[in-house]
Amino acid sequence: MSLTSAMYSATSGLTAQSKALASISSNIANSSTTGFKGTQTDFTSYINKTTTVDEQVGGVIASNTRNVSRQGEIQSSATTTNMAVNGEGFFVVSNKTADGSTYYTRNGSFSADSNGYLTNSEGYYLYGWAVGSDGTITASNKTSTDSLEAINLTSIKGTPKATSTEDIEANLPSDAATGDSFTTDIELFDALGNSHSVTMTWSKTADNTWSLNASNPTSSADSTTTTGTISGFPISITFNSDGSLASATQTDSSGTTTSVDPSAISISVAGWTTGASDSTISLNLGSADSTTGLTQYASGESTAAIGDWTATGNGYEPGTLTGTTIDSSGVVRAKFDNGETRAIYQIPIATFANADGLESESGTTFTQTYESGSYQLRTAGDGKAGEIEASSLESSTVELTDEFSRMIVAQQAYSAASKVMTTAQDMLDTLISMKR
């Protein structure tokens, strides 16, 4: 090998170690970057072989590769919309809220921007499947990223729910005299979310026997305004000698009396003046031969009165969004101040046959390539897809102790290669001086 060849070999070493140092520098700079995948430098021996064995010119080629599939440590976060993928897969993101390019990332530092869109620290929008009122994905083709849309939280509106069940717990006073009556009120919501009040009258008709009637509903804001017509009353209620509920009968408008299950008595309201559709309500007074609903014990008061009154209905008015939750399967649920909780989006996980073949768009964002294979959209926890950890972030995979060790090796190799250069230069100077 000639002196010139030795210098070329040393030059390749300097270039390779410079590339290694650049990789180390980038890794150290991103040691705290969420979802960052560190790079490593691979060295390949290169020999330019001629026809003569002694004329082989040695060198080295360096290439930086990123271990995209490596799992970073998952750490908790105080932000509920921060997420991490625990396992394989990537979040699907875009640089626009609509009609933008599709990218893939492990950087789950998502939070709502001024327009309500979930964006991460690099400004990419999180995409997901829209979910219908029944909790199922509305997209017809869930295998394509075209079925996804940018997740927006401020566009979510609360919806009302008509009262369909009303559970009543109370103690009717056994020490009341036959003919005594007591009144209580319940609140009903129509299908448009309007609140109405119904007055219920409890009358003792005989020992262990009561009659329940109800007035037509009135507006909760104005008790003088009747808002509908109620039916399903009167209801006759009997108790066992131990105070537990025994049975119930219901009399219709024609005067026909029918035995009914006291835990599922059907009543209805028609002709809502608010324009809402008619309501059918299941009135739950408790199970027969139990004390879970109505009971009949002595009131213990000087004047008999209904005690332990509780009426719980499942209706509510339109609510205001108060927050969101995300579960391990990637379902985003909206929480409203009226108690409503509703699924609004499903976050998909994109998996690849060879995640390490993805092309780096930025430090934590990647694009699909031929080497990575085509994406597959999955729900979290399905097949190869990892689960989603809410209120969490995936740390950088960079380990500083490893990087400093690599730095020392690169520095020593660079110094040695530079020493070859200076030695070869000295030898050339000696050769030239011989001619002088």
187-219 per-position pLDDT tens digit:
999 999 999 999 999 999 999 999 999 999 999
- Collapsing DSSP states into helix, strand and coil, what is residue 421? helix
Per-residue confidence (pLDDT) for residue 107, from 0 to 100: 94
Q: How far is CA 300 from CA 203, 296, 305, 324, in A?
A: 19, 12, 9, 47
Cα(397)–Cα(106) distance, rounded to whole angstroms? Answer: 11
More confident residue, 199 or 435: 199
More confident residue, 436 or 234: 234
Cα(346)–Cα(151) distance, rounded to whole angstroms? Answer: 9
Cα(129)–Cα(141) distance, rounded to whole angstroms? Answer: 10
Per-residue confidence (pLDDT) for residue 308, from 0 to 100: 92
CATH topology of domain 165-313: Tick-borne Encephalitis virus Glycoprotein; domain 1 (2.60.98)
Per-residue confidence (pLDDT) for residue 366, from 0 to 100: 94
> What is the percent of the chain with per-residue pLDDT over 70, rounded to a whole number?
97
Domain boundaries, the chain: 3-67+397-435, 79-154+347-388, 165-313
pLDDT higher than 70, residue 318:
yes
**pLDDT category of residue 413 using cuts at 50, 70 and 90:** confident
Whether 157 contacts 166, CB under 8 Å? no
Tell me the average pLDDT of the chain: 89
